[in-house]
Amino acid sequence: MKPMTNLHAVIAGQSAPPPCDETLGVRLTEARDGYAKGVWTISESLLNGNGVIMGGFVGAAADILMAYAVTTLLRDDQMHASINLQTTFHRPAAAGEAEIEARVEKFGKTVAYVTAIVRQNGKEVASATSSVLIMDKP
């Protein structure tokens, strides 16, 4: 089993991103103070039978950026896990590039509430919300 990637190190540019980022084509461009921004290079391999990007991949890409946003507020001895992910689709996404922005709206002792927007060609493709459990590392 591959060791867990330290997202703090990824944000600082000291470590490669986890495999899920690379598999989906998500690249972090900025992360600070409960905010994260990235570029998603969407491959045609993510197309569904209707010729648009499968919705689950859109939600997963948003979840990646939300993880970075939460990480900017965590101590080194803390970790997080999504406990709920809700994605609302506004229009289909196509192969090409999309921009994702995520922001921590509320950060409590044990739960954070995070939102993300996925945009392609200047238009909103999807919005996502996540409740994230904050816990101490084992």
pLDDT of residue 1: 46
Is residue 33 left, alpha or beta, with left meaning phi > 0 and alpha meaning psi from -120 to 50?
left
pLDDT of residue 2: 52
Q: How far apart are CA 94 and CA 43, in angstroms?
A: 9
Q: Which CATH class is domain 19-134?
A: alpha beta
For the chain, domain boundaries: 19-134
Residues 88-121: pLDDT tens digits? 999 999 999 999 999 999 999 999 999 999 999 9
Is residue 30 left, alpha or beta, with left meaning phi > 0 and alpha meaning psi from -120 to 50?
beta
For residue 87, give every residue at least 6 positions away whose Cβ sits within 8 Å of its Cβ, in sequence order, or none. Answer: 55, 58, 59, 62, 126, 127, 128
Q: How far apart are CA 105 and CA 129, in angstroms?
A: 10
pLDDT of residue 138: 85
Residues 28-74: pLDDT tens digits? 999 999 999 999 999 999 999 999 999 999 999 999 999 999 999 99
104 vs 36, 67, 107, CA distance in Å? 9, 10, 7
In three state form, how does the secondary structure of 5-65 look? CCHHHHHCCCCCCCHHHHHHCEEEEEEECCEEEEEEEECHHHECCCCCECHHHHHHHHHHH
Q: What is the mean pLDDT of residues 13-39?
A: 97
